[in-house]
With several copies, the nearest count.
Chain A
Amino acid sequence: MDVLPDEDEAAIQATAEDFLAAECTPALVRAAERDAARWSPALFARIAELGWLRLCLPEEDGGDGLPLTHLAVLFDVLGRHLAPVPMHGTMVGAITLARCGTPAQRAILPAVGRGEARIALAIQEADGSWSADALALRGRREGDGIILDGAKSFVDGFRESTHAIAAFLLDGAPALALLESDAPGLSATDLVTTAKDSSASLVFDGVRVPASRIIAGAAPLRLLMDLAAAFLAAQMAGAARRATERAADYAKDRVAFGQPIGAFQAIQHMAADMLIGAEGAQLLAREAIWRLGEGLPATVEAAQAKAFANEKCLAACRSAQQIHGGIGFIEVHDQQLWYRRVAAWAHRCGTAREHRRTVAAALLDQQGPVRLDVPLVAE
């Protein structure tokens, strides 16, 4: 039992922190927001050069084969610096393919490792539910493949992606389809979110997917959703931690009533709670990611992490705004960048209510007593 980064993980974390602190400045984040594409291809190219994308891909797919915990620390640092790159969907998709894909489907992975292939996740639909039970998009079999007619929504990073993985119903059961982003019949409408990153609604108008691009079964979708929730929770924890540190720094300088506001116990205690919230989310996310990396069931752990992060990381970022006072509301001040992004992330990949429903089912609908240190397995 060791819940802190080991030497390798710590080294990756330190490198990533140094790199992003230098390269992924608030100015770069702002530039990405203003850009039509709403991301930074240049930063992503540098990240690809650094090898982050292949770090946890299998060696046989051109990766370094490192444990998934390396991505846990990377998403933390990416969250700290609000990196405007499509790491989340790309890594979630790639790891799902690496685990569940056929060799042909895995053929995309070397390109992922080089940053050439980027994946967006099309899971949710218009009602916003984060649940395999809410899938309405249906695939109709036609020849050696299926035809998708319908819609997806809240597809983050679609504009910068080369591929999308869409969840749909095939013969009444969940399945995933690996699509090219420019597949004929697929069209996108941009959404405008508090994060001002790219997010889209998709319309599928007779989109044809060959059978070789289909991954059938509930398990791959489950894995995809668990990875998505856990990685996003890790990213939120990093952002919340950084927002907390920035607020503390501000509170050391800003003077009111004759002393730095950070010397007031009310501010100190608020800051302490912010820190605990960010750290709690980080630990929960890391445990979920560790379990995913070990191939252990992690649906409950991912749900725990995202439910906690949604509420506590948003609260930490909001308190950081409060500590900043009026300037937190002003566009030219940087602090709001953290708040706006976490305000979006807290609503993606499942609400606290949805994730707690998953936890409750695992707790209450199975036989036998529970113990906090004995992992629950979702039905």
Chain B
Amino acid sequence: MEFAFDAREDSLRREVQAFIAEELTAAIREDIDAGELGVQFGPIATAFFDKVRARGWTGVSWPVEYGGQGRTAMDQFIIEEEFGRAGLRIGGAGTGAPAILASGTEEQKRAFVPGCIRGDIIFAQGYSEPGCGTDLAGIQCRATRVGDTYVIRGQKTFMTSAHVATHIFLMVRTDPASRRHAGLSILLVPIDAAGITIRPLWTIQNDPVAPRGTTYGENRTNEVFFDDVVVPASCLLGEEGDGWNVAQRGLSIDRVGARRYLMSVLRDEDIVNWLKKDEAPNRALRADPVVRDKVAELWIEGQVCRLLTMRSMTIARRGGDFVHEASAEKVFAPEHGVRATEAIGQILGPHAQLLSSSPEAVEEGVFAHNLLGAFQSTINHGSVQVMRDQIARKGLGLPRPGKRGETV
């Protein structure tokens, strides 16, 4: 056991912090905020991200031969955490590249991974459909093999970055006779392929728009329609019919890591730092033992989130396989985020309802917007219900339910 980062990691963290403090100017921030989802922005921000890339802080843990840095997952965590704390997303989660590295052909790796690292290629995740979210095995979006092409027909939803993406990491049913997990495949689909229609789904964070750093603060996601979209068969990732396993390798990265961790715990720090402000209401709340007790309770839970994340990082570093540990993190941390959000509401009182554009809003309304969004992290990328099923079965060996008898 070693509950500390090593000297090299500490120094990396300081370097990233110093870089952000020096380089991330107000002008760059404005440029980034004017863009979408931290990926579409103007020339000032582009220059900034070029510097980030020049430092080797994107594609950190990916292989050198595909444009990565070949460094440790912990280095990547540190870099992502520091940029995440500054409100910026730096590569990694949700990009599709991990799955391509795991299952792609040599050609696909060369075609996509360097672009993902450079930011030229942005994947949207094409899993959910109107009829299936948590249970992805119900996917109906169909791709039919016709000669050297696939013809795609169907609909996807909650494709958050579709409107800024260059490609879709698309899960389709290639075997129409198949059921459940069998007969699914992953296609890497160019977003500009003919027959793709993207329609915005505005979220409850849209009016007014959630401030930076809100947990699940996206103001837009998308429905995407595929109307006989023809793509070359070379878009297939991995084996046809093996899409479930191909996707699992890519999905798991969204359940752990810096982004998920920060999403769940930033409010713990925010409320403490807000209470420490030298203003009268803050002073009064800070002196209230009931507030203090609650804040300490949240803080301790936040520490558990951190340690569960560090446990996942330890397992990854050691090259081991997860049993139930990633699922445990994906239950405790999101639900902590919800508990923290609601507890903070009862500390702030009526200020907790004031959104970003409101006079008298506290911290640009981040607590209020978080209240609107936090529950989403208990659903996306595997609901806490499904995660608990997995903990019980994998971590404790409990049996799958069979046909249940009468219960009353």
Contact = CB atoms under 8 A, between A and B. Distances in A.
Asked whether the complex places CB atoms of A and B closer than 8 A, the reply is yes
B304 to A, nearest CB: 4
A311 interface: yes
Contacts of B229: none
Contacts of B291: 353
A174 interface: no
A361 B289 CA distance: 10
B350 A326 contact: no
A273 B332 CA distance: 9
Nearest to A6: B1
B212 interface: no
Interface string A356-375: 11011101100001111100
Contacts of A340: 204, 372
Sorting the interface of chain B by its residue count into under 10, 10 to 19, 20 to 34 or 35 or more gives 35 or more
B214 interface: no
A268 B346 contact: no
B346 A310 contact: yes
B276 A364 contact: yes
Mostly helix, strand, loop or mixed at chain A's interface?
Answer: helix
Nearest to B391: A272
Nearest to B207: A331
Interface stretch (A42-50, A77-85, A95-103, A282-290): A282-290
B273 interface: yes
B86 interface: no
B350 A348 contact: yes
B295 A360 contact: yes
A322 interface: yes
Interface stretch (A86-94, A158-166, A178-186, A193-201): A193-201
B259 interface: no
Interface in B258-312: 265, 268-269, 272-273, 275-276, 280-281, 284, 286, 288-293, 295-297, 299-308, 310-311
Interface in B354-389: 354-361, 368, 371-373, 375-376, 378-380, 383, 385, 387-389
Mostly helix, strand, loop or mixed at chain B's interface?
Answer: helix
A307 interface: yes
B353 interface: yes
Interface string A289-331: 0110010000000001001101100110010011001101111
Nearest to B290: A353
A283 B158 CA distance: 36
Contact of A128 (B304, B348, B378, B389): B348
Given A279-B328, A343-B372, A264 B359 contact: no
Q: Which 9 pairs across A and B sit closest by C-beta, in order of nearness?
A: A258-B405, A268-B392, A256-B135, A360-B292, A192-B358, A356-B296, A272-B391, A283-B307, A359-B296
20 contacts: A3-B310, A4-B1, A128-B350, A130-B349, A153-B360, A154-B350, A193-B353, A248-B396, A248-B398, A252-B397, A267-B392, A267-B398, A269-B388, A294-B4, A307-B296, A322-B378, A331-B204, A343-B353, A343-B371, A351-B346
Interface of A: 1-6, 9, 69, 72, 124, 126-130, 153-154, 189-195, 199, 201, 244-245, 248, 251-252, 255-260, 262-269, 271-273, 275-276, 279-280, 283-284, 286-287, 290-291, 294, 304, 307-308, 310-311, 314-315, 318, 321-322, 325-326, 328-332, 336, 339-340, 343-344, 346-348, 350-354, 356-357, 359-361, 363-364, 369-373
